[in-house]
Amino acid sequence: MSLTDVTKPTDVSLNTDLYELTMAQGFWENDLMDAEACFTVFFRDAPFDGGYAVACGTGQIADLVENFRYTDEDIAYLGSLSAPGGGAMFKPAFLEWLRTFAMDVDVWAVPEGQVVFPREPIVRVQGPMAACQLIETALLNLVNFQTLVATKTARVVQAAEGHAVSDFGLRRAQGPDGGLAVARASYVGGASSTSNCLAGKIYGIPVFGTHAHSWVMAFPAEIDAFRAFARSMPKNCVLLVDTYDVHQGIANAVTVAKEMEAAGERLAAVRIDSGDLAKLSKYARRAFDEAGLPYVKVSASNDLDEYTIQSLFAQGAPIDSFGVGTKLATCDPQPSLGGVYKLSAVRKAGESAWRPTMKLSEVAYKRTIPGVQQVARFYDEAGCPVGDVIYDETLDAPTLADASCVTDSETSYDFTGLTHHDLLVKMVEHGRRAGDPDELEAAKRRCKDALMHLDPAVRRFLNPQVYPVGVERNLAELRARLVREERAAQR
Residue 406 and residue 480 in contact, taking contact as beta carbons nearer than 8 Å: no
> Which string of b and e fits 123-143 if b means at least 16 CB within 10 Å?
bbbbbbbbbbbbbbbbbbbbb
- Distance between the two ends of the chain, CA-based, in angstroms? 45
pLDDT of residue 31: 83
- Please give the Cα distance from 426 to 105 (Å, whole number): 11
Q: How confident is the model at residue 408 (pLDDT cuts 50, 70, 90)?
A: low
Query: How many C-beta neighbours within 10 Å does residue 104 have?
Result: 14
Write out the H or E segment, with its range, that includes residue 219.
none
Residue 65 and residue 428 in contact, taking contact as beta carbons nearer than 8 Å: yes
Q: Mapped to the 3 state alphabet, what secondary structure does 74-124 carry?
A: HHHHHHHCECCCCCECCCHHHHHHHHCCCCCCEEEECCCCCEECCCCCCEE
Residues 6+ apart with CB under 8 A from 371: 38, 344, 345, 354, 356, 392, 393, 394, 395, 475, 478
399 or 452: which leads in pLDDT: 452
Sorted by where each starts, the structural domains of the chain and their CATH numbers stand as: 18-149+335-490 (3.20.140.10), 210-319 (3.20.20.70)
SS3 (DSSP) at 10: coil
The partner residues of 194 in beta bridges, in order of sequence, read 167, 207
How does pLDDT run across 223-255, given as a tens digit for each residue?
999 999 999 999 999 999 999 999 999 999 999
pLDDT of residue 395: 80
How does pLDDT run across 205-215, given as a tens digit for each residue?
999 999 999 99
pTM reported for the whole predicted model:
0.95
Q: How confident is the model at residue 409 (pLDDT cuts 50, 70, 90)?
A: low
50-74 average pLDDT score: 96
Q: How confident is the model at residue 404 (pLDDT cuts 50, 70, 90)?
A: low
- Please give the Cα distance from 165 to 153 (Å, whole number): 9
Q: Which range among 30-44, 232-246, 385-399 shows the weakest confidence by mean pLDDT?
A: 385-399
406 or 478: which leads in pLDDT: 478
How does pLDDT run across 368-382, given as a tens digit for each residue?
999 999 999 999 999
Query: How many C-beta neighbours within 10 Å does residue 67 have?
Result: 17
Pairing of strands 404-406, 297-300: unpaired
340 or 2: which leads in pLDDT: 340
pLDDT of residue 130: 95
SS3 (DSSP) at 278: helix
- Residue 279, pLDDT > 80, answer yes
pLDDT of residue 7: 45
pLDDT of residue 1: 43
Averaged pLDDT of the chain: 93
Q: How confident is the model at residue 400 (pLDDT cuts 50, 70, 90)?
A: low
